Structure 1
């Protein structure tokens, strides 16, 4: 059963209401509100970060920070696997299958909520700390065609994190950009040479310039490089990212970035 309607409120703009009943006896209500608030037209950029998304860590930042999968989410995944195995032993169509089926559905719902909450908090943290955020422009649908990685990619929900970060940044007057992901983990962030490595290789070791760095951090630095270049800003305007200069403090120069 579904309901759609318009709710009129005093001293407020029009509020559109949509409700829908879904499985396992849960109702959801969605609201669409017309408002006159305008978004910030200009941002002063004082800090910038590149973000490499992955499975473990979920994100690696160009400043070497990382976020691992939360333990509570891993625990829920293990619980789900256990209950799914129990369900698989029940005969399809039998009466004693319905109860474990509902239990599995509830765990799935719980995991979706946990994942969304984690990404809401992480995206808020990113937007609070940084004025400019660069992600890879990943083609998630194409990546899901890899059956060996599809479940892992689905579990970490990169597109959810990127979407949450983008809309929070827009409301706060911050900037999120997406760059070409080609060779971000293969390119050396110090000398720019290509250093081929398989997915099981966790350390970037450049034979040309000698840079040794976590592969995900190396990729995040390259993502930041490309993001700043995309909007016409230099790497060192915000933070040193190449070679020994990485340990020097951020410059005090700020920039006005007009959003087009």
Structure 2
């Protein structure tokens, strides 16, 4: 009896080990992976109005909060500010009032989701891989005002600004990189932005304004890939370091 049970367990383990991995889904140079209605769809870039508007106007979406300079930045609950960015608060008495700006929603800059690969003379492919991340983030002009803004946003938006998403998937998206070019998969997330100023001073007198802004994303799934709402595309460029296709700077 014990031998039979062991044989069944061993056979089951062998079947699991032998199960084929999901076939890669091939993505073309002009394809966009979109999430919608509980599933993903592959469409042409020309069918996505937001991408066409960026292409035609040349006007970039707002800079991601996580990349802001000269502000105290917290991304995924961790301090991302480099030395010199955090500004010490003045110690003085006074009122503090939060003055919010209108809510914004836009398609964000490229966030890398694969290694950068150079196309060779033979067919060279790149795939979405595990270990890349994107996080909700908050930036404030003075480090002393971070707690105030965190408390304000937790009440007004109910959003967890410490949340991070990390790619970990078994369903591969794969694309061919043209010979002599550099290519990488990128994500452009739908970004919800809250921003405004903290006014500090005495009522009836001049005060000071400290800016803040916060970006957040919405969880979505692309097949077996758990990520954020938006789109995934192949970015192709001519040089290294590889410039973003949407946004400034390099990947």
* TM category, shorter: under 0.3
TM-score (norm 2): 0.20
TM-score (norm 1): 0.20
**Bigger strand share:** 2
